[in-house]
């Protein structure tokens, strides 16, 4: 099979492959980029594989960086822009995967087949030369047509080599709307316990992409049916089932925070921050998700809660409430937000220094308490966010304390 037209990303990298070929070596576009071209999807990364060894690549191109030379990868700087920087990896075979994630060592080879047969799924095992000729050694084109995910060679071996491929399979089921071939799924289920050997950060990335996929229900269903959820930190299958059955069928998550919040609203006895700590996410992400889960429990928005959570989070929460079948006033959040005089304390027209100068106050708890009271009164529209009004109110507060 030959591509009728090379995508722009391949055209731009064409001279690199041609130059390698001119020196007597093979070079191909490989992996997900070829798959995405065949599916008519946007390309994210252009990966190039070659029969040339790393040192030979460095002899061919004047500007290179050793980004993973021990595994055969050299970054070729073919142009000034980052888009013209290409990771070129030598064909290789791999040894045992003691850690179930990376090979103990790799051996460089000249044979394309040897390189492709170590890849995870047939639809990721294509190669494409600089003229657009597709090389399909494992009947990936049939799987692509049938929208089916099949492991290359022995599925048990592929998952034994890299257990993260189990999560990748579920992610592809979500993002590409692929079904899993029977033997491949059976091997996923059999090897799912190996996920305990994989870093939680890597699992999070795959699960996060799964949740944001257009067919996330497929991915979650596979997570349950494969029983892989048992090997994810503090996961509850009942919560997963509730998300599948209780969330509106056509709902798609706006962002990662909303997706994880949706899951966690179905968990029982959940300490959101403690849960996410085990997933080693950033504090910022953890706080955002915790806020969404807390806000989800509120019956209605008022000035104080809208100010505390902000309109962005409020709208994400309202979308979840509606998707879970709760009857809410869809316009209330925007209406309440419009009634707020301030949306952050930095918008208060008077700062602590102004009060210190005006009333000879010193920094400390008393000043902090006054500022907090002012903020609360302005939020509740009990006090205008105007200099004279605030100074008058503070004067009253200080006189009452005398």
Residue numbers in the known binding site for Mg(2+) are 45, 47
Known binding-site positions: 32, 35, 45, 47, 119, 162, 165, 168, 171
Please identify which residue in the block is written with the tokens 């073919």.
Answer: 78
Known binding-site positions for ATP: 32, 35, 119, 162, 165, 168, 171
Task: Enter the tokens of residue 402.
Answer: 């005398």
- Dihedrals φ, ψ of 310, to 5°? 90, 155
Q: Are 328 and 318 in contact (CB under 8 A)?
A: yes
Q: How far apart are CA 109 and CA 50, in angstroms?
A: 9
Exposure string of 358-374, with b = 16+ CB inside 10 Å and e = fewer, is eeebeeeeebeebbeeb
CA atoms within 13 A on the CB side of 168: 19
Q: What is the three-class DSSP state of 336?
A: helix
Task: Enter the tokens of residue 367.
Answer: 């000043």
Q: How far apart are CA 169 and CA 223, in angstroms?
A: 10
Q: How far apart are CA 72 and CA 191, in angstroms?
A: 28
Please identify which residue in the block is written with the tokens 């080879």.
Answer: 109
Chain centroid to CA 147: 23
Q: Quick one: angle between helices 216-225 and 182-191, nearest 10?
A: 60
Q: Are 41 and 83 in contact (CB under 8 A)?
A: no
Q: How far apart are CA 209 and CA 218, in angstroms?
A: 13
Report the sign of the C-alpha dihedral through residues 171, 43, 137, 88, in that order: negative
Known binding-site positions for CTP: 32, 35, 119, 162, 165, 168, 171
């Amino acid at each position: 099979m030959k591509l009728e037209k090379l995508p722009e990303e391949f055209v731009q990298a064409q001279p690199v492959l041609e130059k390698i070929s001119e020196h007597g070596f093979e070079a191909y576009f490989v992996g997900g980029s070829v798959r995405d071209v065949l599916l008519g999807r946007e390309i994210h990364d252009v990966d190039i594989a070659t029969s040339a060894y790393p040192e030979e690549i460095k002899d061919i191109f004047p500007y290179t960086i050793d980004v993973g030379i021990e595994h055969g990868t050299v970054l070729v700087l073919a142009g000034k822009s980052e888009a013209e920087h290409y990771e070129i990896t030598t064909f290789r075979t791999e040894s045992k995967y003691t850690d179930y994630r990376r090979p103990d060592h790799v051996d460089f080879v000249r044979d394309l087949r040897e390189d492709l047969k170590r890849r995870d799924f047939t639809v990721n095992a294509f190669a494409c030369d600089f003229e657009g000729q597709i090389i399909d050694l494992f009947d990936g084109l049939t799987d692509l047509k049938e929208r089916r995910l099949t492991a290359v060679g022995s599925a048990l071996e592929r998952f034994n080599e890299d257990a993260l491929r189990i999560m990748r399979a579920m992610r592809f089921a979500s993002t590409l709307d692929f079904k899993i071939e029977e033997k491949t799924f059976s091997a996923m289920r059999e090897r799912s316990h190996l996920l305990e050997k994989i870093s939680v950060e890597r699992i999070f990335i795959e699960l996060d992409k799964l949740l944001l996929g257009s067919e996330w229900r497929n991915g979650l269903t596979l997570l349950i049916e494969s029983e892989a959820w048992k090997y994810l930190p503090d996961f509850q299958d009942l919560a997963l089932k509730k998300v599948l059955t209780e969330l509106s069928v056509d709902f798609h998550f706006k962002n990662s925070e909303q997706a994880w919040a949706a899951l966690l609203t179905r968990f029982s006895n959940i300490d959101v921050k403690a849960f996410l700590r085990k997933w080693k996410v950033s504090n910022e992400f953890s706080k955002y998700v915790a806020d969404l889960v807390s806000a989800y429990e509120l019956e209605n928005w008022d000035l104080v809660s809208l100010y505390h959570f902000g309109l962005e989070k409020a709208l994400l929460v309202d979308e979840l409430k509606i998707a879970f079948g709760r009857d809410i006033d869809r316009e209330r959040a925007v209406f309440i937000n419009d009634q707020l005089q301030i949306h952050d304390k930095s918008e208060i027209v008077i700062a602590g220094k102004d009060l210190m100068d005006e009333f000879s106050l010193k920094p400390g708890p008393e000043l902090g308490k006054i500022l907090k009271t002012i903020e609360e009164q302005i939020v509740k529209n009990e006090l205008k966010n105007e200099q004279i009004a605030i100074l008058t109110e503070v004067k009253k507060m200080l006189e009452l304390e005398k």
